[in-house]
Structure 1
Amino acid sequence: MSLTLVCSVAELPFNQAYRVVLEGVPIAVVKDSAGDVHAIGDTCTHGDISLSEGFVEGNTLECWAHGSAFSLKTGQPQSLPAYEPVPVYEIVITDGNVFIDPTVTKEIPV
């Protein structure tokens, strides 16, 4: 596992996506209104659009261009036009810092 320091939890604003690129992999990091931190693929599967430029609503991140929303927990699309999920990455929080390994995605049961 190759964990990379992304930021501190305190640096993340609530309900906004923060874009990072780790080893060439674009990832949207989000701290939801409950304070839980999520990391999902930053590229909408409907179009080559950065999801981190979109809107966090509840447990979803919505693409600003076409309105597809993706679950922060599973990466599954919650609305059309997207029908393919985005990857969800494992996060390790240590001493208030967020670490992500861009080569490790969560296995999400369908």
Structure 2
Amino acid sequence: MPATKVCSLSELAPDTAKRVEVDGVPIAVVLDSAGTVHAIGDTCTHGDISLSEGFVEDDTLECWAHGSKFSLTTGKPLTLPAYEPVPVYVVTLDGDDVLIDPSVTVPSGAGR
């Protein structure tokens, strides 16, 4: 499946998450304070909560409901109560376009 435009880079605010959906897959797109765009699964593995409603700090996204923090680069939970990772998707930038293919994930723990 080819990568799909999910938003424009100009639509992303630093240190916030934006929820997008590609072929039924909910994804949280984050522009971190260093200017890197990340894409991780938008559903917390602990409580089935939208992560894009959470808090971005450095390279983590924290679930607003129970406080689990997920690495934006590996998808691994860094704090309890979550213990299962979320998927991390490959992000491609084409000018101002942010492209994601939900069928292509970064292997857990590999980072970017």
- Report the counterpart of residue 54 of structure 1 in structure 2: 54
Provide Cα deviations, 1:81-106, integer angstroms capped at 9, x if missing partner.
Answer: 00000000001101121000011111
The ranges of structure 1 where at least 4 consecutive aligned residues each deviate by more than 4 angstroms after the TM superposition are none
**How many Å apart are 1:109 and its aligned residue?**
3.6
Paired residues for 1:81-96 under 5 Å: 81-96=81-96
Provide Cα deviations, 1:48-80, integer angstroms capped at 9, x if missing partner.
Answer: 100000000111000000000000000000100
Question: What secondary structure sits across from 1:45 in the alignment?
Answer: coil
Gap change, CA 1:55 and 1:109, over 3 Å in 2: closer
- Report the counterpart of residue 19 of structure 1 in structure 2: 19
- Report the counterpart of residue 70 of structure 1 in structure 2: 70
**How many Å apart are 1:108 and its aligned residue?**
3.2
Equivalences, count = 110
Q: Measure the CA separation in 1 of the matches of 2:105 and 2:93.
A: 16
Segments of structure 1 that go 5 or more residues without pairing to the other structure are none
RMSD: 1.0
**How many Å apart are 1:28 and its aligned residue?**
0.0
Question: What secondary structure sits across from 2:6 in the alignment?
Answer: strand
**How many Å apart are 1:2 and its aligned residue?**
1.8
Segments of structure 2 that go 5 or more residues without pairing to the other structure are none
Among all aligned residue pairs of Structure 1 and Structure 2, give the percentage whose two residues are the same amino acid: 66
Question: What secondary structure sits across from 1:101 in the alignment?
Answer: strand
Provide Cα deviations, 1:28-53, integer angstroms capped at 9, x if missing partner.
Answer: 00000011000000000001100000
Gap change, CA 1:75 and 1:109, over 3 Å in 2: closer
